[in-house]
Amino acid sequence: MSRGTRRGLAALVAAAALLAALGTVFTMTRSSAAPATPTTASAAVGGAKVECTSKKPGLAPELSRDIAHALHGRQGAAALAVYDRDTGTTCDYKAGTAFDSASVVKVTVLGALLRQADEAHRKLTPKEVELTTAMITKSDNEATSALWRQIGEDGIKQFLSLAGMRHTVPGADGAWGLTQVTASDELKLMELLTRKNTVLSAHARGYALDLMERVAPDQRWGTPAGVPGGTTTHVKNGWLPRENNGWRVHSVGAFTGGGHDYGMAVLSQGNRTMDYGVDTVEEAAEVIHRDLAEAG
């Protein structure tokens, strides 16, 4: 075999080896870029379960366990729902259970008004700006009643239908605080406010989130408990004492900026005091913030 032939064969062998190596690298790169398969885990709390699903390895069992631990032994009844877009995570605990809404329904009232304004291709009037600001930032009840009457039951129901909040039932005879809500539907509303959709315009979503960001300092308890630094918090709380099932204490929140994009709804009733209900909500919120922050 001539020297030239040997050189040619060596070149072919080297080229073949290089192609094989490149194929291996390509296969490994393509494999590593494949989306993670979601995993589901659950943990028991009494006779129910906290169930979480996540694309982030190890996060679902950690969240379900920690939420269950936070709720274990708490008096009364609680429900929650969570989403985190970055890790493809959701959590659910009795999220279909109905509760008297108290003031968390005020975000729904705001959404319904903004939808009507969008449909009419108009801005909010100065009076509507005054009423919505008082309703969300100060939880003003008179402002809420005025807007509830203006929107009308049909307007509220139309918004609920468009938003996919099919288990929310408006309170009868103007009793907006007795609207029946679920953690699942409240979370849908938080998701609606924080992503592009056909129900609310970008301007409407921005307006709602701005008001929820400016809630009065003494009403910023609940789901913001334990929120990571640098995160923008959008919150609305509700509290209502009744003869049956004690205090209703609820909190819904969306958390954006600083690399975060998640939300939660925590509802409770049967609390002996308002403070006890706040503690229940905050103990659950704290572990959710912590686990999502560590996973990020």
Phi and psi torsions of 223, nearest 5°: -60, -25
* pTM of the predicted model as reported, rounded to 2 decimal places: 0.88
Contact 269, 99 (CB under 8 A): yes
Q: Cβ neighbours of residue 84 under 8 Å, at least 6 residues apart?
A: 54, 90, 261, 262, 292
Phi and psi torsions of 164, nearest 5°: 75, 20
Conformational region of residue 110, where left means phi above 0, alpha means psi within -120 to 50, and beta covers everything else? alpha
d(CA 294, CA 292) in angstroms, rounded, equals 5
Cα 257-133-105 angle, rounded to 5 deg: 80
Tens of each residue's pLDDT in the chain, 296 residues: 444 444 344 443 333 443 333 333 323 333 344 457 999 999 999 899 999 999 999 999 999 999 999 999 999 999 999 999 999 999 999 999 999 999 999 999 999 999 999 999 999 999 999 999 999 999 999 999 999 999 999 999 999 999 999 999 999 999 999 999 999 999 999 999 999 999 999 999 999 999 999 999 999 999 999 999 999 999 999 999 999 999 999 999 999 999 999 999 999 999 999 999 999 999 999 999 999 999 98
For the chain, list the strands marked E by DSSP. Answer: 39-45, 48-54, 77-84, 89-93, 99-100, 180-181, 232-241, 247-257, 260-269
Burial class (CB in 10 A: 0-12, 13-18, 19+), 2: exposed
The SS3 assignment for 258 reads coil
